Amino acid sequence: MKLLFIEIRHNPLLWLLVFVPVMFAAAKLKPEAHTLLFMLSVLAIVPLATLLSHATESVAAKTGDAVGGLLNATLGNLTELVIALTALRAGQYMLVKASIAGAIVTNTLFMLGASFLLGGLKHHVQEYNRVSGRMQASLLFLATIAMLIPSAVSQADSATVAAFTRKLSVGLAVLLIVAYGLGTLFSLKTHRELFASAEHGEAGETPWPMGLALATLAAVTVLVALVSEVFVESVQKAAEAFGMTPAFVGFIVVALVGGAAEMASAFSGARKNRLDLSVGIALGSASQIALFVAPVLVLVSYFIGPTPMDLQFWPGAVVMILIATLTATLVTNSGRSAWFVGVLVLMVYLTFAMTLYLLPPKG
């Protein structure tokens, strides 16, 4: 418990934890103040995600490499998963899909671009392991391609019916999870040396003892779920108040909130001239969304949602995901970076954000 307080004192992000009780109080007292609840829930999720990330890493560090790696790989995007599950249960499929697409785009463009920019402002030219960067970019590209196939093919073909898309989505979800399992085997067991440098190796931090870590993991997951509920309920109305489209909220706001903890790690790696770490976190996290989070949501939707969810994205999202992964592939191809590369990658992200912000709401 003392360790938890030390951690909190040293990490300014965690001071935001104060907003967790504030939010619950506000939700009780003023259930109609959607805009306020939305902002409080955003402020509450960020530190919870940071705690979750540290607890996962502590458990991973204690349980040894293989199990720990598996845990890290499975729980790395736990925040995104919990938020999406809450939205799924509420039947808000548009928000679920936007947050899947947005997480991939934000991880590849914003996290990567800001890492390049922040690293580049401190170091003239940064070199990183080109081989593992390329390997990870290829995996990401193939993973997103597989995820997008129903959208690409059926969007193009007029004679499509919903039943086809739904069957295809289930088949695809199974395929993606199998590929994810094989990929975990590959990166943790048979070819771990290729991914060595991309491990979440925060050398400076001391891992928590097992008991604390597990308790934190359990308690914080429940808290995230509760906060997510308020977030998902309030987001729609708050978005209207701010003049934001639902697409913008799902794509940009949810993705930035859910990924805050990983971004902190990626940016700190870039500043320390360890771009391998930043590239590994950004691309690995994006791959995980495509290969694990998205298919799990499709399969789970058969049990908890009002109706099954398919993997059909709206055409604009398909274009953005493809551009984001292509950009990541191109940019990591040379194994070198300088600040302007980060500026251009961020600019692509900004144009996406601007487009979604200005996009007239449908209907």
Task: Identify which of residues 104 and 137 has a Cβ nearer to its own copies in the complex.
Answer: 137
Q: In the set 6, 125, 210, 304, which binds its own copies (CB under 8 A)? A: 125
d(CA 282, CA 331): 13
142 binds its own copies (CB under 8 A): yes
Question: CB-based contacts of 304: which residues, under 8 Å, 6+ apart?
Answer: 85, 88, 89
Alpha carbon distance, N-terminus to C-terminus of the chain: 52
Which residue matches tokens 């085997």? 185
Q: In the set 191, 206, 209, 222, which binds its own copies (CB under 8 A)? A: 191
Q: In the set 8, 145, 214, 244, which binds its own copies (CB under 8 A)? A: 145
Per the document, the length of the chain is 363
239 binds its own copies (CB under 8 A): no
In the complex, what is the shortest distance from the CB of residue 336 to its own copies, in angstroms, rounded to a whole number?
Answer: 7
Task: Identify which of residues 134 and 271 has a Cβ nearer to its own copies in the complex.
Answer: 134
In the complex, what is the shortest distance from the CB of residue 86 to its own copies, in angstroms, rounded to a whole number?
Answer: 27
Q: In the set 183, 201, 207, 308, which binds its own copies (CB under 8 A)? A: 183
d(CA 168, CA 161): 11
Q: In the set 5, 15, 25, 171, which binds its own copies (CB under 8 A)? A: 171
Q: In the set 62, 89, 123, 134, which binds its own copies (CB under 8 A)? A: 134
Task: Identify which of residues 36 and 350 has a Cβ nearer to its own copies in the complex.
Answer: 350
d(CA 134, CA 73): 19
135 binds its own copies (CB under 8 A): yes
| Helical (H) or strand (E) element with 127 | strand 126-127
Q: Facing residues of 127 across strands? A: 336
13 binds its own copies (CB under 8 A): no
128 SS3 class: coil
8 A C-beta contact, residue 90 and residue 230: no
Q: Where are the alpha helices (DSSP H) in 186-274?
A: 192-195, 210-242, 246-248, 255-258, 260-271
From residue 27, give the alpha-carbon distance in Å to each of 20, 156, 233: 11, 44, 11
4 binds its own copies (CB under 8 A): no
Nearest CA among 320, 344, 325, 289 for reference residue 142: 325
Q: In the set 110, 141, 251, 292, which binds its own copies (CB under 8 A)? A: 141
66 binds its own copies (CB under 8 A): no
CA 171 to the chain's CA centroid: 23
Nearest CA among 230, 224, 239 for reference residue 94: 239
Q: In the set 66, 190, 222, 307, which binds its own copies (CB under 8 A)? A: 190
Subset of 289-328 contacting its own copies (CB under 8 A) = 314-316, 318-320, 323, 327
243 binds its own copies (CB under 8 A): no
Subset of 332-361 contacting its own copies (CB under 8 A) = 333-334, 336, 338-341, 343-345, 347-348, 350-352, 354-355, 358-361
Q: In the set 6, 66, 67, 182, which binds its own copies (CB under 8 A)? A: 182
In the complex, what is the shortest distance from the CB of residue 354 to its own copies, in angstroms, rounded to a whole number?
Answer: 5
244 binds its own copies (CB under 8 A): no
Task: Identify which of residues 32 and 157 has a Cβ nearer to its own copies in the complex.
Answer: 157
